[in-house]
A and B are shown apart, each in its own frame.
Chain A
Amino acid sequence: QVQLVESGGGLVKPGGSLRLSCAASGFTFSDYYMSWIRQAPGKGLEWLSYVSTSGSYTNYADSVKGRFTISRDNAENSLYLQMNNLRAEDTAVYYCARPIRGLILPHLDWGQGTLVTVSS
């Protein structure tokens, strides 16, 4: 069955960096666009970024453009989110998600999320 397992979250100081990973299994990872979505504590969902099947095409929400970088390693069945210059408002649970095949959205399968806390 499809599994998405995020890791790499934790406590980081403002201005710091963190790299999130999403390990995928149960499907042909290289056939799917992949996305990151986040949810601040007690708040709604925010789409952040997607990456194409090859990794050649990416897109970002304005709130993270220039600070976050999405990437993937199809040989390792892994998705990444490099987060730099972190701010308090980046505190959230970060989810990776797989869409319906052939599409960018909607987000069909989700990981369990990893919590990122930005605080001094």
Chain B
Amino acid sequence: EIVMTQSPATLSVSPGERATLSCRASQSVNSNLAWYQQKPGQAPRLLIYDASTRATGIPARFSGSGSGTEFTLTISSLQPEDFAVYYCQHSHNWPPYTFGQGTKLEIK
């Protein structure tokens, strides 16, 4: 099983600033990596897939990068609606398609 590790667990950033979230895989997943945003009481929303492709309707301030075992989600200028929990998930080869434990992005 591939273990996905996200850091930090909590990130405090001020609105308008840049946020950088990390996700590390225990073995290479190539570019088979997605990022999701989840707000309290809501289902997750797909932001990025294939490590760097924005899903339809996702603002350009969200960007993904990385390949192999190291991945980054960057939010260039934080908006009030961006404060949420973010998860990465791999989709490499075979299951289980594990998620990271999440990074909570909170207002500083």
Contacts and interface: CB of A to CB of B under 8 A. Distances in A.
Interface of A: 44-47, 50, 59-62, 95, 100, 103-108, 110-113
Contact of B91 (A46, A59, A105, A108): A105
| Interface secondary structure of B, over-half rule | loop
Contacts of A46: 99
Contact of A47 (B46, B49, B55, B89): B89
Contact of A108 (B55, B89, B102): B55
B21 to A, nearest CB: 14
B95 A50 contact: yes
Contacts of B43: 95, 110-113
A44 B87 contact: yes
Interface of B: 1, 32, 34, 36, 38, 43-46, 49, 55, 87, 89, 91, 94-102
Nearest to A106: B34
A47 B99 contact: yes
A14 B33 CA distance: 35
B99 A45 contact: yes
Nearest to A63: B96
Contacts of B1: 62
B98 A47 contact: yes
B87 A106 contact: no
A59 B102 CA distance: 24
A45 B91 contact: no
Given A45-B89, A105-B34, A106-B34, A62 B44 contact: no
A61 B89 contact: no
Contacts of A110: 43-45
A59 B36 CA distance: 22
Contacts of B91: 103-106
